[in-house]
Each structure stands twice: as C-alpha cells, then as structure tokens.
Structure 1
Amino acid sequence: MKQFVRQKFHLEPNIGLLNDPNGLVQYKGIYYVFFQWNRFEKNHTYKEWGLFTSKNLIDWNFKGSAIIPDQEYDLNGVYSGSSYVINDKLYIFYTGNRKYENRRKSSQCLVISKNGRNFLKKGIIINTPTKYSEHFRDPKIFKGKEKDYFIVVGAQTAETKQGAIVLYRSPEGENWRYISELAISQKYQMVECPDLFSIENKYILLYCLQHRDNEKDIPLKSFAVYKIVDLDEATGRLDDNNLDENYFMMDYGFDFYAPQTFKDDKNRRILWAWMSRMNDDEEEAFAKLQDSIHCLTIPREILIKNGRLYQKPIEELYRLLAEKIEIEKQSDGQFDIVNDRHSMYLKLKDIASGQDIDWTVKDEIKINYSYKKKEFALYRLNWLTNNWDKKSCDLESLMDLEIWIDNSSIEIFINAGEKVFSSRIYPKHQGISISGNLCGDLSVRNIDK
C-alpha cells in the first residue's frame, strides 16, 4: 500500500508531517513554497519550516529545513507566516511559539534573506497586545495601494475568547504599528491564517474559522472561507467586519485548510492550501505504512467572476497531461475506464441540461449531481469506519467538470472553478477504475510525473 498512497504531482516531503503552506513568494525568478514541517515524527509535536523551490511550478526541488526553532522566543515552534520581497531582499514573517509551564507565549518574528538560501533571524517585531490571548498568530503581509505595507494577524480576544483579525502597518517592513481590530467573530473562538489581497480593485479576505475548547486549549472544528470587502487603508477599517456572515466556502471537500496566496511576475494570484482536515485517528491510520503524511493542493489561480472567487489549476499543470485513455462506452449510456496508473485527468464538458451525474471512482469515491435537488455531492469511503461520508453544496446548474486524481487524492473543479471539492483518498488497490453515466463530452488523459 505504501507506493499507492504517496503522491505523484502534489508537494509532499519525504519524511514527517506537513501542514500549512507558508511564505509563498517568487524571488529572483524562483518560486518558494515554505511549509510547516515536523521532520522527526508524523504528528504535530514539533514545527519548523521546510522548503520547496521551482523555476517553472512543475519541477520542484526539496530543500529540507529552512527556518528552525533555535531561539528563546520560538523554541516550541516556528509557526505559520508569510513572505514579501522588499528592496530586493526576502522578508519572512512567522509566529514564534514558546511555552512556559504550559502557558503559551506568541511573538511575531522577522527573518531576512539576501539570496533565498541563508535566513537571518532579526527577532520579535510584534508582541501580543493585552486585548488578545496568546492565540495570536499567522502574520500575512501585503502591500497597500500607496507605499505602506500591512500585516493581518489571526487572533483571539483575551476576555471574551472570540476570534478576530488584527491589522498592522509599516513604512518599510521592519517597524510595525497596530492599526485596528479589522474584523471579529461572535460565534467562533479563533481565526487562523488570514490573507488579505486585492484583485481588480476589490479586496479579498481569506480566513479560517475555528471552534475551540478553551479549557482544554484544543481545536474542535475548522474550515476556510472568504468574503469580498472594501478596505479603508487610512483608518484600517473594512466595510464588513462581521466574520460570521456574508462569507463563502473556499472549498467544499473533505481536505482543504490554511490557504495562502501570492502574486507572481505574470500578475497571477496563486493559491496553495494544506490538503487535510483529518482527525488524529484518521491521520494515524493514513500514515501507518508511510514515511510521511499530508501534502499541499495543486496550485490554483484565483480570479473574480460574477462577484465570487473562482479557482482554476495554473496553466503549467496542463504540461503534465500525457496520452489519452480510451473510454469504453456502453449501449445504455454508461462508460467504464480501467487504468493501471495511479493518476489521471478527466474533463467533462457540454453536459446536457437537466442531466444527473452518478459516478464511482476507485471504489472509494462517488460523485453525484442531482438536477432536481440542485445539489452536487462527493461521497468518500471512510478508511476507519468503512462508511460513506458526504460533502455537498448547492449548485444551480452543472456545465462542466475538471477532475485531477493523484495516488491518494481527488480535486474537482466545477463550472470552470465556480466551486471546488478537494479530498484525500485511502486507496485499497492498485490503479484507477471509473464508471458512470456518460452525459457529455468526456476526455481522459494520463498524468506524466
């Protein structure tokens, strides 16, 4: 089973546990994807930053450790953060985690690199304000429309234990001043991994809402969302600062969290996310025969259409598509595909109006669209319970599907990226088999990686 679970074209380290993508940036022609990493065990007991680099977003080099917990202020973990190129230097911001007699202390810290290989820690740049608990983390930098830089930080209020997002400003990227409490939640106890950026003169706020058991200090449920907002940079105020309303899901599948974006030299807003929402028992079983666990999603370009975010695979990924796969068509309108490969690309277009879809993938996934219910659903066979778990969304019409299958994952892009489902799969056997009703123009290709 070991060879079937490790991914082919998703970013994944050789050993240990990967989680949040961090510090996404293009620097001196090189793409940098840092990530949260425990290189010693397949659990969350240790955190540093690992690093992948690439010149073309297809061929990746795993660089191993980049930023490790070796200072008093980050000795219990180099937590999530972001990067930005300032004056031809790479500025990296992260949360340093320290525990004193089981009490957490968080500090927002700065690293500067002149070459993208050597990383010099400059120390603490932001201490937690007294209004907030030490669940104060995940600094994400962005450039304002004028000359200043801004950082958003995920937070929890100290007194009421409500999730919030806090805004800081700096003229040069090293000296930071508190501006405002940008937004707050009344329903959730923490907000993680905020990201604020502009597309077509509109600001997009990505964030992760989290229910927590504050007495036990453990997360209970988390998910990633976005809203389109207006930001007054002078006052640090949003036109909509209620994090509990008017948001949309970033992804409707089982495994998507902590998304982060950056802009490259082609003026594209590119996103990666952590491809997991497994609980502890699911993680342990998934990784039992593996040297590593977890991967990132495929990189996606973010666009605005019809007042919503659309996600589409970056154009470079289509260079991975190889020979076409023959589709066996049945007289009753059904089809079958059998392939001894572990990865595959499918494109279904020109779907007949009013048509339902009922597909089975690898005996572990079912894809269903009900025109009558206006519902798209993904069913996954749970590898612990052997029951079918369900994720779904409302969908008025289905026009096309684009599906990327790797050894142990599936990513489904609906209606050119209007909605996306991302999920890990625990494969039971070698190869891929797909069957269902043929309700449009279907093309299938191998993925060469």
Structure 2
Amino acid sequence: MAEAMSPPLFPDSELSECPVPYQITQADIETARDVREHLLRDPHRPGYHFVVPEGLAHPADPNGAIFWRGNVHLGYIYQRHGEHCWGHVSSHDWLHWKHHLPWLTPTADSPETGIFSGNCFHGDGEAVFLYHGTEQGNSIATASDHWLEQVRKSPANPIVPVQDESGRRTGSQGWSSWDPHGWMDADGTYYGIFGGHTASVFKTRNLHSTWDHVGDFLAHPLEGVDLHEDISCPDFFPMGDKWVMLCISHELGCRYYIGDWRNEQFHPEYHEQMSWVDNGWFAPESLLDDKGRRIMWAWARDERDRETEQSASGWSGTFTFPSVMVMDKGRIHLQPIEELQDITYGGDNRRLTLENGSDVLVDGLHNRQIDICAWFMPKDAHRFGVTVCRSPGGEEQTVVGVDLREQMLFIDTTRSSETLGRRTVEKAPLPDYQAAQLQEDGGMLLRVLADNSIVEAFAGGTQAMRRMYPTRTDSDMISYWAEGGTCELDTAATEVKRTNHH
C-alpha cells in the first residue's frame, strides 16, 4: 500500500523486548501477589467463564474476535488511567486464555482519547481492526504477525470523524460515526456498518483513504420494532442463505435480525430479543472458526453495586460461555461449545420420577461450577427444572426451569443471595413450535451452566442468563423439582474445572 503506516504500538512481539517503564520492586511483587490471592479467594469470581484479569471493567464489551492462524483471538474493553483500551487474549482450545499486551490504546500518533467498540476481520492478507476512537471517530488499525501483537494504526484516522470540517456532529447528518463493524467483500470492497439510532453503511476500496457514505443500513422497519431503536455493537455476517445482524439496543440488550443483504442494504425479515427483563446480556461478539462454527460471547453485566461491592472485590467484566449459533426454523438458538466436556469431571447421573411438588436434593455433589444436562419428560407436570447454588434448607437458591403454560424458560434469582445482587426473574419465550416439538420428542433438554456468580440456561431453542451472588458457604448444592404433576427425568450433572488463572 502506498501510505506510510505509523509505528506499531509495541516495537516487538516478544514481551522481553518491550520497554520496561520502571524497575520492579519487592513491594510491587508483594502487591501483585496480594491482588492475585485476593481474587483467588473471591467466591463470586467465575472459574471457567472468561473474566477481565483484574480491575473494574465498565464497559467490558468483547471486541475484535477473530480466528487467526490456528488460534482464537478476543479483545475486551477495560479502563486504565481513566482511558478506555482493548485488552487482548488468545486461545487454542476456547477454554484457556493466553494474555497479551493491550491490543489498542490511545497513543501519541493517534488522536483518539480512548478505544470503544469495533471488530476485527480478515482483509487482504492482514487482520483489520475497525474501531471507534473516542472524541475522534471510527478508525482503522492492522496487524499480520502470528500473534496479532504488531498493531499499526492508520495515518488516515479517523476515517470518518465525529464532526465535519464545519464542526457539525455527524449525528446531525442522519448518521453517526459510532460503533462500527467491517468486512471485506469478495470483490475486495471494504464495507462498514456504523451503528446508532440510524445505522448506516460506508464503503471504500482503500482502507486508508476516504470511506463513502452509502445510505441507511435498514431497508425497512419490522412490525413491533422501532426503526430508530439503536443498533450498537453490531456484528453482521452470513449464515446459510441469510444474513444475521447480531447487536444490542442500549434499552433492550442483546438482540438479532435475520434477513437479506442486497444492493448494499439489509432487508430484515425477523427480529428477536435475547435479553428480556433488562439489558443484562450485552455487547455480543462472534467469529467463524476453522470448523465453520459461528461462535459468540456477550458481556454479562455485573449486578453488584459498582461503587461499593464491585470496587471492594477489585474485579468485574464477565463474558458468557462461548456458544455455537445455530439457525433452525428461521430462528437462532445457542449451544455451548462441545469443548466444555474437556474440563468436566465427576458428577452425578440419575433417573428419577418427580412427583408434584417434589424437590430432590442431590447429596454428595457440592460445587458452584456445574454443567447440568437434564432430559425432562413431563407427564402432566407443567413446570419443572433445577436449582443451583442452593443451601441445604433453600435459604439461598437460584431456580432454573421451564413453564409449559406460560411457554417460558426462566431463571429466578429472587432468593439467589441473602444480601447481594438484583432479585429478578428472567423469562425467555419458547418458540411457537416448541409445544409440538415436545410432543414429538417426548421430552425437553434443559442445559444449565452455573459458575459462582453467573448462570446460563438453554432449552427449547431459547436461552437465558442471570448473575447471582450467593453469600452462604453452604450454597453449593443442586436439586431437581416439578410442579403440577409427574415428570420423568434422566440427568447428568458434572463439575467443571477452573480455567481462569485467578
């Protein structure tokens, strides 16, 4: 390319050759050890869900997910010295993460004051970062080394400023230089979707030159969805013969559209929320791996008080467990990646007949890091499910279940903790076809992942997530229950190893 690129953020990929800002003292070592031990002792810090390594991260959006030369790379927003930055981790197995130096930070050669949402995609022999530079606008960086550590920002940044030469903010023109998502088309054209209340499309043939405004991203509204409901943290990709827009609304949290991409515009046909009681499931990010799987994460927003409880703990920023996105019957549903089985052990397998009102406590299994696969075969029961992170007397418990009358998958956290967190009931609607599917299959699989302060549930083609913060030391049991009649159950509950370093 003709343009000269700015120097890399770090001169060498080898950490030993990076500049050391000062001599590490024994006091520094003792402080680092104290912090690590403090985090290891925290009963609410997840063990196998990814967590920002230290400090309060708000926002903590996943960003820049890309499969590159045999490894998964993932970015996350965190705050350092009052500035928003992208951290960087990589993994060869989706479970254990190698921490790298920061991916993107404000630097002297670039005008932004912080790094906000964006993505990373395969360009012409290089990985391309399209991100929002705070106070400046959407911007470009590239890398092509094995570990994606030699990141260079474009001298053309910002490629679309937040204000024009007259000083008008871009929003006054009907579009915003805001949360971007980019990709390279088969003909070499680079496209970018700029989020906001009126999401828009930009394109260019040269990454480091002018990007042209094409027009509105959405070709038309969908019934029941406000046309100007903001599309932020966008993630746009083909799936089968359709295209999917995975995104958030700041009010609704995670959601997605399915439709067609033609004539440089998206024609939506279907829309569904992925978070209901609030926007706690936030900022989704996905990638396509070497097996052809579309795998996503999201930020599971912390529900402890930020000024007191989060601050005292010294950490926040948890991601949902990586899940495969599957399109079935015109909808998206999620399945935890199969690699999870590589870190499960022990557990409890049993077959039960659950009578009306029964609540069978599993003795001998005491762990808050659990993977439950429960096949429920309701005879005349209309509600059934499991409890996790439960105390022996049920003083604390998180209830996960299916309500066939309401056609809902739900997670009830009203008794999850005696002191911490919000008390809510998340209700995820089951798809219309699920009643017939239940009759055809003779049962329903309920999958539950519990991990100290997060619980995820998958059943009937839908999913739900909640945060929970049990405070009793004996809230480490599970039970199975049914209401309204009898239900047969065939279940396997396994314990899950810790994969986070601390």
Does the TM-score normalized on the shorter chain lie above 0.5? yes
Q: Offset of 1:388 from its aligned partner?
A: 3.6
The CA deviation string for residues 173-221 of structure 1, in whole angstroms up to 9 with x for no partner, is 44432211112775756331112111112011122123xxxxxxxxxx3
Say whether residues 1:66 and 2:103 are aligned partners.
yes
For residue 390 of structure 1, what is the amino acid of its counterpart? V
Q: Does the CA-based 8 Å contact 2:386-2:481 persist in structure 1?
A: yes
Name the SS of the counterpart of 2:290 in structure 1: coil
Q: Does the CA-based 8 Å contact 1:10-1:295 persist in structure 2?
A: yes
For residue 349 of structure 1, what is the amino acid of its counterpart? W
Larger CA Rg, structure 1 vs 2: 2
Q: Does the CA-based 8 Å contact 1:326-1:337 persist in structure 2?
A: no
Say whether residues 1:10 and 2:49 are aligned partners.
yes
The CA deviation string for residues 268-311 of structure 1, in whole angstroms up to 9 with x for no partner, is 11111111164xx6334541442211211111111110000011
The count of corresponding residues between Structure 1 and Structure 2 is: 411
Q: Offset of 1:385 from its aligned partner?
A: 7.7
Whole-angstrom CA distance in 2 between matches of 1:32 and 1:196: 18
User: Which runs of 5 or more residues in structure 1 are unaligned?
Assistant: 99-105, 156-162, 211-220
Counterpart for residue 16 of structure 2:
none
Q: Offset of 1:73 from its aligned partner?
A: 5.7
Whole-angstrom CA distance in 2 between matches of 1:387 and 1:261: 28
Structure-2-length-normalised TM-score: 0.74
Q: Offset of 1:222 from its aligned partner?
A: 4.0
Whole-angstrom CA distance in 2 between matches of 1:348 and 1:177: 52
Q: 1:285 to 1:325 in 2, by over 3 A?
A: farther
1:362-401 correspondence to structure 2 within 5 Å: 362=389, 363-381=396-414, 388-395=423-430, 396-397=434-435, 399-401=444-446
Name the SS of the counterpart of 1:137 in structure 2: coil
Q: Offset of 1:37 from its aligned partner?
A: 0.7
Counterpart for residue 124 of structure 1:
158
Say whether residues 1:152 and 2:197 are aligned partners.
no
Name the SS of the counterpart of 1:16 in structure 2: coil
For residue 213 of structure 2, the aligned residue among 178, 199, 216 is 178
Name the SS of the counterpart of 2:339 in structure 1: helix
Counterpart for residue 368 of structure 2:
342
Say whether residues 1:108 and 2:138 are aligned partners.
yes
Q: 1:58 to 1:360 in 2, by over 3 A?
A: closer
For residue 447 of structure 2, what is the amino acid of its counterpart? E
For residue 384 of structure 2, the aligned residue among 330, 351, 357 is 357
Counterpart for residue 266 of structure 2:
238
Whole-angstrom CA distance in 1 between matches of 2:49 and 2:422: 27
Whole-angstrom CA distance in 2 between matches of 1:203 and 1:360: 37
RMSD (CA atoms): 2.8
Structure-1-length-normalised TM-score: 0.83
Name the structure where helix makes up a greater proportion of residues: 2
Q: Does the CA-based 8 Å contact 2:400-2:457 persist in structure 1?
A: no
Counterpart for residue 274 of structure 2:
250
Counterpart for residue 101 of structure 1:
none
- Identity of counterpart residues, as a percentage? 19
Name the SS of the counterpart of 2:367 in structure 1: coil
Q: 1:92 to 1:277 in 2, by over 3 A?
A: same
For residue 442 of structure 1, the aligned residue among 464, 472, 491 is 491
Q: Offset of 1:109 from its aligned partner?
A: 0.9
Name the structure where strand makes up a greater proportion of residues: 1
Whole-angstrom CA distance in 1 between matches of 2:306 and 2:236: 31
Which moved further from structure 2: 87-96 or 366-375?
A: 366-375
Name the SS of the counterpart of 1:317 in structure 2: helix
The CA deviation string for residues 103-144 of structure 1, in whole angstroms up to 9 with x for no partner, is xxx411111112111211113222247652596322111243
For residue 203 of structure 1, the aligned residue among 226, 243, 258 is 243
Q: Does the CA-based 8 Å contact 2:387-2:399 persist in structure 1?
A: yes
1:253-402 correspondence to structure 2 within 5 Å: 255-276=280-301, 278=303, 282-325=305-348, 334-338=359-363, 339-355=365-381, 356-362=383-389, 363-381=396-414, 388-395=423-430, 396-397=434-435, 399-402=444-447
For residue 170 of structure 1, what is the amino acid of its counterpart? T
